[in-house]
Amino acid sequence: MTTHLNTTPDAAAAGTWRLGDRTVNRIGYGTMRVAGTPTDPKPKDRAESIAVLRHAVELGVNHIDTAAFYFLPTRSVNELISTALQPYAEDLVIATKVGPGRSRDGGFEEYARPEELRAQVEENLRQLGRDHLDLVNLRWGAGLERVPGSLAEHFGSLAALREAGLIRDLGVSNVTEEQLVEAMEIAPVVSVQNRYGLTEREDDALVETCGRHGIAFVPFFSVAAAIPGALPHGDHHEAGQAEVAEVAQAHGATPAQVRLAWTLHRGDHVLAIPGTGDLAHLEENIAAGALRLTADEMALLDGIAELS
């Protein structure tokens, strides 16, 4: 029997995963939108952004995703994190990304060379006010398209910084399975962060590979298809809306919550980092960690892949 979702938000309701040598709640927080978005000429109110970050931690979030290249002309996400959350809680894991670079006017610059990654790591250290970074993902490619080729030299540079004590754990982002294997041969990989969701199923096999190796799979944009205008391409994202709505109604949940819950049901090693700059949406996202889907509901939702 399907029961209605208890909407009391508590990140612990999603369960936990061992991320490197740290235990985190499986539902975390992605900070890309906390300052606003590049397409919105008016940034979020600074006090509101700080309140959202603090409330996320109050609700049990102890895995936060960020990057030094998350900024607007008058807002730096890392600076907001530093202001809102220092002194940092001992159990808080802040994951960041390096690779892409952005100019002061916000445009993406040429992808970093291996020897330039140290400067990006140090920039994150300064902005966050840390003496080491908990987790650094090598973001392969500046955009969302998968970029072929070897990442060995770049990942090797980060592995050297890990040995030097600047980084605790390493991950990769926007990669193929072959690139993950290549990275694993250089240094331990604790997370893979790729675009993935109910109607973004390219990485089904990679999700399983990560599970076999005890690597966290951390999807981004997993709820974007539930937000009108959030995805820049593809009519196929309209597929499955009726099925998602049916499951959402049964649980007294929103379509975005169902999409989040579906990703969490893909395996205990799958973590969620939904992003928002809104307090109410933050609570909805975290409450989704308590949503338990039945086998029939998962089968219904899994079938959407054939429609998209």
Contact indicator for 194, 203 with CB cutoff of 8 Å: yes
Range of the domain at 174: 16-235+266-282
Q: Establish if 256 belongs to a structural domain.
A: no
Q: What is the pLDDT of residues 124-179, one digit of tens each?
A: 999 999 999 999 999 998 778 899 999 999 999 999 999 999 999 999 999 999 99
Q: Establish if 212 belongs to a structural domain.
A: yes
Can you give the pLDDT at residue 307? Answer: 66
Average pLDDT over residues 87-93: 97
Regarding pTM above 0.85, the answer is yes
Q: How far apart are CA 271 and CA 273, in angstroms?
A: 7
Is 29 a known active-site residue?
Answer: no
Contact indicator for 95, 104 with CB cutoff of 8 Å: no
Q: What is the pLDDT of residues 137-151, one digit of tens each?
A: 999 987 788 999 999
Residue 49 has pLDDT above 60, yes or no: yes
Q: What is the pLDDT of residues 201-246, one digit of tens each?
A: 999 999 999 999 999 999 999 986 554 444 444 434 567 999 999 9
Q: Establish if 248 belongs to a structural domain.
A: no
Can you give the pLDDT at residue 237? Answer: 55
Q: How far apart are CA 152 and CA 157, in angstroms?
A: 9
Average pLDDT over residues 68-86: 95
**What single-letter DSSP state applies at residue 44?**
P
Q: Return the CATH number at 217.
A: 3.20.20.100
Tell me the average pLDDT of the chain.
Answer: 92
Q: Establish if 296 belongs to a structural domain.
A: no
Selecting among 29, 70, 111, 196, the annotated active-site residue is 70
Can you give the pLDDT at residue 282? Answer: 97
Q: Give long-range contacts, CB 8 A cutoff, 24+ apart: 145-149.
A: 146/174, 146/175, 146/176, 147/174, 148/176
Q: Is the dihedral of CA 274, 173, 199, 224 positive or negative?
A: positive
Q: Establish if 191 belongs to a structural domain.
A: yes
Q: Give long-range contacts, CB 8 A cutoff, 24+ apart: 283-286.
A: 283/7, 283/9, 283/55, 283/59, 284/7, 284/9, 284/254, 284/256, 284/257, 285/27, 285/29, 285/223, 285/256, 285/257, 285/260, 286/9, 286/10, 286/11, 286/27, 286/56, 286/59, 286/60, 286/61
Q: Establish if 181 belongs to a structural domain.
A: yes
Q: Establish if 179 belongs to a structural domain.
A: yes
* Overall number of domains in the chain: 1
Q: Establish if 292 belongs to a structural domain.
A: no
Residue 108 has pLDDT above 90, yes or no: no
Average pLDDT over residues 32-42: 82
